[in-house]
Structure 1
Amino acid sequence: MTHPRYPHVFSPLRLGKQVVKNRIIMGSMHSGLEDVPDAAERLSAYFVERVKGGVGMIITGGITPHPSGGRGAKLSEPDEVPMHRAVTDAVHAADPEVKICMQILHSGPIANVAEPVGPSPVKSRLSPRTPIELDEAGIEEQIAAFANCAALARAAGYDGVEIIGSAGYLISTFLVEKTNQRSDRWGGCWDNRMRFAVEVVRRVRAAIGPDMILIFRIAAMDMLDGGMAWDEIVSLAKALEAEGADVISTHFCWHESQVPTIATMVPRAAFAGVTGRLRQHLSIPVITSNRINMPDVAEAVLARGDADLVSMARPMLADAELVNKARTGREDEINTCIGCNQACLDHTFTGQLVSCLVNARACRETEIAIRPADAAQRIAVVGAGPAGLAFATIAAERGHKVTLFDAADAIGGQFNLARRIPGKEEFDETLRYFRRMIALHGVDLRLGTRVSADDLLAGGYDRIVIATGITPRTPQLDGITHPKVASYVDVITGKAAVGKTVAIMGAGGIGFDVAELITHAGTSAALDIDVFAREWGIDFRNHPRGGVTGVVPEVASNGREVFLLQRKASAVGKGLGRTTGWTHRITLQRRGVQMIAGVEYQRIDDDGLHILIDGAPRTLAVDSVIVCAGQEPARGLYDELLTRGGNVDLIGGAHEAAELDAKRAIKQATELAVAV
Structure 2
Amino acid sequence: MSDPSTPLTTAAPLAVTTTPWSLGPITLPHRVVMGSMHTGLEVHDDGGAGMAAFYRERAAGGAALLITGGIAVNDEARGGPDFAVFGVGDTDDRFRTAVDAVHAEGGAVLAQLFHAGRYALVAGLTDRNGAPQRAVAPSPLPWAAARGVVPEALTHDEVLRTIEDFADAARAARDIGFDGVEIMASEGYLVNQFCSPLTNQRDDAWGGDPERRRRFAVEVARAVRSAVPDLAVTIRLSGVDLMPRSSSPEDVDALVRDLLPTGIDGISVGVGWHESRVPTVQAAVPHGVWLSYVERIARVVRSSDRPDVRVLASNRMTDLRDVEAVLERGLVDAVALARPFLADPSIVGTSLRGRFDLVTTCIGCNQACLDRSIVGQPVSCLVNPRAAREVAFPVRPTAEPKRIDVVGGGPAGLAAAVDAARRGHRVRLWERADELGGQFGLASRIPGKEDYAGPVRSAHAELVERGAEVLLGRTATAADLADSDGVVLASGVVPRTVTIPGADLPHVITYEQALRHGVPAGSVAVIGGGGIGVDTAAFLVESPDESRRAAEFDERWGLDGFDGLVGDLPQREPAAARTLRPGPDVTVLRRSGKFGQGVGITSRWVALGRLRDAGVRFIGGVREYVGIEPGVLRILDEDGTPVAVPADTVVLCAGQEASSDLASELAATGVPFAVVGGARDARSVDAVRATTEALEAVRRLAP
> Which of the five TM-score ranges fits, normalised by the shorter chain?
over 0.9
1:158 paired residue number? 178
2:426 to 377, 381, 401: 401
Once the 2 structures are TM-superposed, how far is the Cα of residue 561 of structure 1 from its aligned partner? Answer: 3.0
Question: Distance in 1 between the 2:366 and 2:427 partners?
Answer: 31
Superimposed CA distance per residue, residues 197-230 of structure 1 (whole angstroms, 9 cap, x where no aligned partner): 111111112222x111111111112222223222
Once the 2 structures are TM-superposed, how far is the Cα of residue 421 of structure 1 from its aligned partner? Answer: 0.6
Once the 2 structures are TM-superposed, how far is the Cα of residue 24 of structure 1 from its aligned partner? Answer: 1.4
1:141 paired residue number? 161
Q: Does 1:278 align with 2:313?
A: no
SS in 1 for 2:424: coil
Superimposed CA distance per residue, residues 132-169 of structure 1 (whole angstroms, 9 cap, x where no aligned partner): 22221222222222122122112211111111111111
The amino acid across from 2:97 in the alignment is A
2:614 paired residue number? 591
2:569 paired residue number? none
Q: Which runs of 5+ in 1 are unaligned?
A: 543-555
Question: Distance in 1 between the 2:367 and 2:498 partners?
Answer: 28
SS in 1 for 2:164: helix
SS in 1 for 2:112: strand
Question: Does the CA contact (< 8 Å) of 2:194 and 2:206 recur in 1?
Answer: yes
Once the 2 structures are TM-superposed, how far is the Cα of residue 484 of structure 1 from its aligned partner? Answer: 4.2
SS in 1 for 2:96: helix
Question: Distance in 2 between the 1:362 and 1:194 partners?
Answer: 38
Q: For structure 1, which segment, 309-318 or 5-14, has the greater mean C-alpha deviation from structure 2 after superposition?
A: 5-14
1:546 paired residue number? none
1:619 paired residue number? 643
SS in 2 for 1:194: helix
SS in 1 for 2:641: strand
1:337 paired residue number? 362
Q: For structure 1, which segment, 580-589 or 464-473, has the greater mean C-alpha deviation from structure 2 after superposition?
A: 464-473
1:213 paired residue number? 232
Question: Does the CA contact (< 8 Å) of 1:217 and 1:251 recur in 2?
Answer: yes
Q: Does 1:74 align with 2:74?
A: no
Q: Does 1:634 align with 2:659?
A: yes
Summarize the Cα distance change of 1:82–1:390 in structure 2 as closer, same or farther, 3 Å threshold: closer
How many residues are matched?
655
- TM-score (ref. length: structure 1): 0.92
1:57 paired residue number? 65
Q: For structure 1, which segment, 447-456 or 359-368, has the greater mean C-alpha deviation from structure 2 after superposition?
A: 447-456
2:558 paired residue number? 537
Question: Distance in 2 between the 1:574 and 1:378 partners?
Answer: 39
Question: Distance in 1 between the 2:455 and 2:88 partners?
Answer: 44
Question: Distance in 2 between the 1:157 and 1:45 partners?
Answer: 17
Question: Does the CA contact (< 8 Å) of 1:403 and 1:443 recur in 2?
Answer: yes
Question: Does the CA contact (< 8 Å) of 1:482 and 1:604 recur in 2?
Answer: no
Question: Distance in 1 between the 2:199 and 2:290 partners?
Answer: 24
Question: Does the CA contact (< 8 Å) of 1:277 and 1:306 recur in 2?
Answer: no
Once the 2 structures are TM-superposed, how far is the Cα of residue 526 of structure 1 from its aligned partner? Answer: 6.9
Question: Does the CA contact (< 8 Å) of 2:407 and 2:429 recur in 1?
Answer: yes
Once the 2 structures are TM-superposed, how far is the Cα of residue 358 of structure 1 from its aligned partner? Answer: 0.9
- TM-score (ref. length: structure 2): 0.89
Summarize the Cα distance change of 1:663–1:74 in structure 2 as closer, same or farther, 3 Å threshold: closer
Question: Does the CA contact (< 8 Å) of 1:486 and 1:496 recur in 2?
Answer: no
Once the 2 structures are TM-superposed, how far is the Cα of residue 357 of structure 1 from its aligned partner? Answer: 0.9
- Within 5 Å, give how 1:87-126 maps onto structure 2: 87-95=98-106, 98-114=107-123, 115-126=134-145
1:582 to 597, 605, 610: 605
The amino acid across from 2:256 in the alignment is A
Once the 2 structures are TM-superposed, how far is the Cα of residue 674 of structure 1 from its aligned partner? Answer: 3.2
SS in 1 for 2:328: helix
Question: Distance in 1 between the 2:145 and 2:236 partners?
Answer: 21
1:192 paired residue number? 212
Question: Does the CA contact (< 8 Å) of 1:122 and 1:179 recur in 2?
Answer: yes
Summarize the Cα distance change of 1:407–1:526 in structure 2 as closer, same or farther, 3 Å threshold: farther
Question: Does the CA contact (< 8 Å) of 1:357 and 1:663 recur in 2?
Answer: yes
SS in 1 for 2:646: coil
Q: Does 1:515 align with 2:540?
A: no
Question: Distance in 2 between the 1:559 and 1:578 partners?
Answer: 24
Question: Distance in 2 between the 1:468 and 1:58 partners?
Answer: 38
Question: Does the CA contact (< 8 Å) of 1:9 and 1:299 recur in 2?
Answer: yes
SS in 2 for 1:268: coil
Question: Distance in 2 between the 1:303 and 1:63 partners?
Answer: 33
1:478 paired residue number? 501
2:684 to 644, 659, 671: 659
Once the 2 structures are TM-superposed, how far is the Cα of residue 527 of structure 1 from its aligned partner? Answer: 7.0
Question: Distance in 1 between the 2:216 and 2:519 partners?
Answer: 59
2:491 paired residue number? 468
Question: Distance in 1 between the 2:596 and 2:407 partners?
Answer: 33
Question: Does the CA contact (< 8 Å) of 2:528 and 2:588 recur in 1?
Answer: yes
1:259 to 243, 255, 278: 278
The amino acid across from 1:509 in the alignment is G
Once the 2 structures are TM-superposed, how far is the Cα of residue 42 of structure 1 from its aligned partner? Answer: 0.6
Question: Distance in 2 between the 1:400 and 1:15 partners?
Answer: 43
2:28 to 20, 30, 36: 20
The amino acid across from 1:352 in the alignment is Q
Question: Does the CA contact (< 8 Å) of 2:71 and 2:113 recur in 1?
Answer: yes
Superimposed CA distance per residue, residues 166-219 of structure 1 (whole angstroms, 9 cap, x where no aligned partner): 1111111111112212222222211011011111111112222x1111111111
Q: Does 1:308 align with 2:369?
A: no
2:513 to 487, 490, 512: 490
The amino acid across from 1:28 in the alignment is S
Question: Distance in 2 between the 1:262 and 1:299 partners?
Answer: 20
The amino acid across from 1:150 in the alignment is A
SS in 2 for 1:609: strand
SS in 1 for 2:393: coil
Question: Distance in 2 between the 1:8 and 1:643 partners?
Answer: 59
Q: Does 1:369 align with 2:394?
A: yes
1:170 paired residue number? 190
The amino acid across from 1:190 in the alignment is P
Once the 2 structures are TM-superposed, how far is the Cα of residue 106 of structure 1 from its aligned partner? Answer: 0.8
Question: Distance in 1 between the 2:166 and 2:642 partners?
Answer: 60
Question: Does the CA contact (< 8 Å) of 2:550 and 2:562 recur in 1?
Answer: no
Question: Does the CA contact (< 8 Å) of 1:610 and 1:617 recur in 2?
Answer: no
Question: Does the CA contact (< 8 Å) of 1:214 and 1:245 recur in 2?
Answer: yes
Once the 2 structures are TM-superposed, how far is the Cα of residue 596 of structure 1 from its aligned partner? Answer: 3.3
2:345 paired residue number? 320
Once the 2 structures are TM-superposed, how far is the Cα of residue 563 of structure 1 from its aligned partner? Answer: 2.8
Once the 2 structures are TM-superposed, how far is the Cα of residue 644 of structure 1 from its aligned partner? Answer: 4.1
Question: Distance in 2 between the 1:448 and 1:541 partners?
Answer: 43
Q: Does 1:246 align with 2:265?
A: yes
Summarize the Cα distance change of 1:397–1:383 in structure 2 as closer, same or farther, 3 Å threshold: same
Once the 2 structures are TM-superposed, how far is the Cα of residue 112 of structure 1 from its aligned partner? Answer: 0.6
Once the 2 structures are TM-superposed, how far is the Cα of residue 14 of structure 1 from its aligned partner? Answer: 2.1
The amino acid across from 2:440 in the alignment is F
1:437 paired residue number? 462
The amino acid across from 1:470 in the alignment is V
Question: Does the CA contact (< 8 Å) of 2:184 and 2:236 recur in 1?
Answer: yes
Question: Does the CA contact (< 8 Å) of 1:422 and 1:526 recur in 2?
Answer: no
Question: Does the CA contact (< 8 Å) of 2:298 and 2:332 recur in 1?
Answer: yes
Q: Does 1:180 align with 2:200?
A: yes
Runs of 4+ in 1 over 6 A off after TM superposition: none
Question: Distance in 1 between the 2:220 and 2:67 partners?
Answer: 19
SS in 2 for 1:474: coil
